[in-house]
Amino acid sequence: MIRVSIIVLLMTTKAIFAVPISSIINGGFEAPLSGSWNTLGSLDTRQFLLGQTATEGQEFAYAATATSGMPSPATVEQTLNLPSGTFDAVVPGDFVLSLSVGWQQVQVTAGDVISFDWAFATNPNPIPTNSPGPDYGFVLIDDAVAPLAWQDDVSLPTSNDNFKTTGWHSFQQTIATTGVINIGFGATDVTTGSYPSYLMVDNFVLVPEPTSMLLMSLGISILLTRRGRVARVGLRRGGRD
């Protein structure tokens, strides 16, 4: 009887840990990017950048532009299997020269909610010839790239007189598909490689959709109940011996 209970207990434990609380690794960037986030371009973690500090823990990540060795949008689109022209489509009338992007492949269920904090900082001059534009920070979810902020969105002072920032904002979106998708962030240089821009991010969290949460709660309840039974059986046998 005890052997059967232990087998059931192990199977239940395995089933519970198969349901991730958050499958985003190092979403708070308290560890270096390597080993958790894939990167193309110029990305790193910091405690301070242009007067900004982390919204979770001590460290946050940033993607920078206007540095050497940044990949073209075509290279990023091929690497991430995105449709050709994805990044240019965000800026009609302009073109993306290069960009930096960080991403993870994440197992998701439709209804999961992805959230994180972001701040965009750049030199707001010269005034963009097209609006909105030109440089932008973006979020990548599956094969969709959505702008978070543009060069002409920055208005708050930073620790450098040449730069302004949006300050920290929160992003939240419900995932529409089930499967393994890319979740990422980045910043682009539009038209020229001058005037660096920075997208800062912190606190990536994936909250399971309600059904998974319920199943996880039920699994924990069953596990605790069976642990109690095993303990009681052990006590009774111990008492008889």
Q: Binding residues for Ca ion, per CB under 5 A? A: 28-29, 54, 56-57, 59, 135, 189, 195, 202
CA dist list (Å): 195 to 49, 121, 186, 201: 16, 11, 16, 20
Give the residue from 4, 66, 52 showing the smallest Cα distance to 201.
Answer: 52
Please say which residue, 189 or 216, places its beta carbon nearer to Ca ion: 189
CB of 204 to Ca ion, least distance (A): 9
Please say which residue, 54 or 96, places its beta carbon nearer to Ca ion: 54
CB of 46 to Ca ion, least distance (A): 10
CB of 124 to Ca ion, least distance (A): 11
CB of 134 to Ca ion, least distance (A): 7
Please say which residue, 60 or 103, places its beta carbon nearer to Ca ion: 60
Please say which residue, 112 or 117, places its beta carbon nearer to Ca ion: 117
Please say which residue, 59 or 112, places its beta carbon nearer to Ca ion: 59
Q: What 3 state SS string does the chain have?
A: CHHHHHHHHHHHHHHHHCCCCCCCCCCCCCCCCCCCCEEECEEEEECCECCECCCCCCCEEEEECCCCCCCCHHHHHHHCCCCCCCCHHHCCCCCEEEEEEEEEEEEECCCCEEEEEEEEEECCCCCCCCCCCCCEEEEEECCEEEEEEEHHHCCEECCCCCCEECCCEEEEEECCCCEEEEEEEEEEEECCCCCCEEEEEEEEEEECCHHHHHHHHHHHHHHHHHHHHHHHHHHHHHHHC
Please say which residue, 12 or 197, places its beta carbon nearer to Ca ion: 197
CB of 109 to Ca ion, least distance (A): 25
CB of 30 to Ca ion, least distance (A): 5
Give Cα 126 to chain centroid, integer Å: 31
